[in-house]
Amino acid sequence: MMQAIRGRVGSIVVKILFGLLIVSFGLWGIADYAQDKPTQDSVIATVGDQSIRAADLQKAIEPALERMRTQFGSGIDSQQLKQLGVVDTLLSQLIDRSLLDQEAKRLGLEVSDDVIRGAIYDNPAFRGPDGKFDRRMFTQVLSMNRLSEEQLVARLRHDIPRADLVQAITAGVSAPQPVVDVLYRYRHEKRVADIVSFSVSAIADTGPPSEADLTQFHEAHSDLFRAPEYRAFTVASLSPADMKQAAEIPEDKLRKEYELRKDDYESLEQREIQQILSPSEAKANEAAAAVASGKEWKEVATSIAGQDPETVELGLLNRKEIPQELGDIAFELPLNEVSRPIKTPLGWHILRIVRIEPAAAQGFDDVKAKLAVEMQLQDAADRLSKLGNQADDALAGGGKLDEVAAKYGLTLTSVAAVDETGHDPDGKPVTLPVVPDEILKSAFATGPGETGRVADTQDGSVFAIRVDKVTPPQTRPLAEVKDKAIAGWQAEQKRQAATKQAEDLAALANAETSLAKAAGDKGLTLLAAVSLTRAAQPGQRVPAALVAKLFAAKPGDVVTVSDASGAHTAQLKDIQAPEAISEAEAAKLADQLVAEAKLDIAGEFTQALRRRFPVEIKRTELDRMF
């Protein structure tokens, strides 16, 4: 999972999370104005006389985490975001915003009501089908983001001066045409080369190493056999399920709770909706006529409307999950009938309903037992929270973990050795009593011999940790990793053999003999006239290191590289300059260069502001909270 993310960090993290810094300084978009759930109030950084709290960073992390999960799956967690550097990047963005806010205030930059009104009226998110400001759409968008009109206006009073300040320092940036031309030629230049590859899988087995060879390999590659840091600790914990069950809840209380949560037990009518989305009314009418004549729905969507096939199926939705102008039509359509073309800011839609699931409601008797269990668990969580506070006070007062656990009924669990990933020295997962990620995070943030404070988990459990022993990272003895060392030595021998074959072939080719002839004389497979670009293109499987060497070579030069898969010998045959850049491509590249230059200028400006408004990141607190 992590490898997949690292492989695409350029496209996802840079484009979505790091974003255009210029934009992040200004209006971040209506979605970023949403309120958050309250979190810890700990200060993790100070900027001038302002503080950035854990809640502020958590607010930035949540949408970033959601985007990453959408891209890579639900297995992504906040700890992996931190490993990728995303948490630090988001904190830097918060710091930059604070720097700009304070500088705007120092300069006396203010925004009038007319400017705020214009910003709202010009926002495409608030426009109706006619392209004009729509009060109903405005209210709906704010409601979806749990934001009042007053809160939006208050935020705009901060964000607009910030955006104006950045605009002022980046205005006038341009990309000279000679720079555009040179960069275009650099990016689109091609190299044509003959290539011979020597795969390690084709190298004969080298046999077992001698003891001396194995010892030397183990010493030279100690990083391959390095054990991580392990910690032994004792955890005192209790979960709501461990609490003594409360007395049976009276039926009148159950009924009262049912009435309060009645909406939770009612499901809205859902409809499985298909759409054809067209960019113009003419195309929409053509598509509607094609469907009416009996043509297949998806074929019409893709061939006539030019629609992405993945957007045809909207899935099973209720009325609240679809824009109102579409919902008003979709939830009146009979099953399998086709709607008229409907215009929205996204284009022209034609809808069809292929399945209807009617609204349903669970009565009191249907949910009584489940509701009783939930209320008992909530009661247990409330009692556990109080008990956790008492235990925390006892520990803060100097109480021993074992004594406090016995007094308040916490369960003691001893962990002999575990690494940060939750595995023991044999690589087996270690079972932990409550939320493992939070326990491990606390265990590796607590000093040797120290006892941490009582912590609450997301599921309502409480725990405290005493770190009993820390085993620092160390190289495992050869006797423990002999099989791995033998495999590593054999793999290295094969790589060295492949490298020698590649170098020997290069020596023959350099002696006034082309690589193609030298390879033919030795009966080797040659990839002839392979066309390469600096940036890897789809289907281009030549190692990046070999491409780099070829782009630094002159025609006729022979180069070699080695990697984990084997070794490669290549001879540069030709350098192909790109055709002259078109006006459209030049404009696009110029816009990109201007955007990058503005990012650099804005970054330099905020860096300079740090001298006026000193920045301090409280790393210990940041690591503890995230």
Domain boundaries, the chain: 2-172+605-625, 190-225+481-576, 229-248+383-472, 269-358
Per mean pLDDT, which of 120-129, 364-373, 421-430 is the most reliable? 421-430
d(CA 370, CA 372): 5
- Band the pLDDT of 18: cuts 50, 70, 90: very low
pLDDT value for 370: 82
pLDDT mean over 276-305: 91
pLDDT value for 289: 93
Q: Tens digits of per-residue pLDDT, 152-187?
A: 888 888 889 988 898 899 888 899 999 999 999 998
pLDDT mean over 418-428: 92
- Check: CB of residue 572 under 8 Å from CB of residue 193: yes
> Is 2-172+605-625 a domain of CATH 1.10.3470?
no
Looking at 89-98, 509-518, 568-577, which range is the least confident one?
A: 509-518
Q: Report CA dihedral (284, 289, 290, 295) to the nearest 10 degrees.
A: 120
Q: What is the overall mean pLDDT for the chain?
A: 84
- What is each CA distance from 526 to 204, 550, 568, in whole angstroms? 21, 16, 11
pLDDT mean over 524-533: 93
d(CA 74, CA 72): 7
pLDDT mean over 37-55: 79
Phi and psi at 206, nearest 5°, equal -85, -5
Looking at 324-338, 483-497, 535-549, which range is the least confident one?
A: 535-549
Percent of the chain with pLDDT over 90: 46
Q: Is the pLDDT of residue 608 over 50?
A: yes
Q: Is the pLDDT of residue 545 over 90?
A: yes
Contacting residues for 420 by C-beta, under 8 A, at least 6 apart: 228, 229, 440, 444
Q: Tens digits of per-residue pLDDT, 494-517?
A: 999 999 999 999 999 876 789 999
- Check: CB of residue 232 under 8 Å from CB of residue 448: no
pLDDT value for 528: 94
pLDDT value for 20: 33
Which tokens belong to 406?
A: 């016995």
> Is 229-248+383-472 a domain of CATH 1.10.3470.10?
no
Please name the residue that has the structure tokens 């988001």.
90
pLDDT mean over 338-346: 85
Per mean pLDDT, which of 113-117, 137-141, 200-204, 400-404 is the most reliable? 400-404
pLDDT value for 366: 82
d(CA 523, CA 538): 29
Percent of the chain with pLDDT over 70: 89
- Fold: same for 229-248+383-472 and 269-358: yes
Please name the residue that has the structure tokens 């605009």.
167
Please name the residue that has the structure tokens 């830097």.
92
- Check: CB of residue 42 under 8 Å from CB of residue 54: yes
pLDDT mean over 275-281: 88
pLDDT mean over 539-552: 89
d(CA 245, CA 226): 48
pLDDT mean over 330-354: 89
- Check: CB of residue 493 under 8 Å from CB of residue 204: no
pLDDT value for 9: 33
Looking at per-residue pLDDT, the higher value among 153 and 612 belongs to 612
The number of residues making up the chain comes to 626
- 522 DSSP assignment: T
The CATH T-level fold of domain 269-358 is Chitinase A; domain 3 (3.10.50)
pLDDT value for 10: 33
- Band the pLDDT of 72: cuts 50, 70, 90: low
Q: What angle do CA 104, 106, 108 make, to 5 degrees?
A: 70
**342 in helix, strand or coil?**
strand
Contacting residues for 475 by C-beta, under 8 A, at least 6 apart: 222, 225, 226, 227
Residues 288-291: contacts with CB within 8 Å, 24+ apart?
Answer: 288/338, 288/340, 288/341, 288/350, 291/338, 291/350
- Check: CB of residue 440 under 8 Å from CB of residue 455: no
Confirm whether pTM is higher than 0.85.
no
pLDDT value for 429: 94
Which tokens belong to 604?
A: 């330099």
pLDDT value for 221: 92
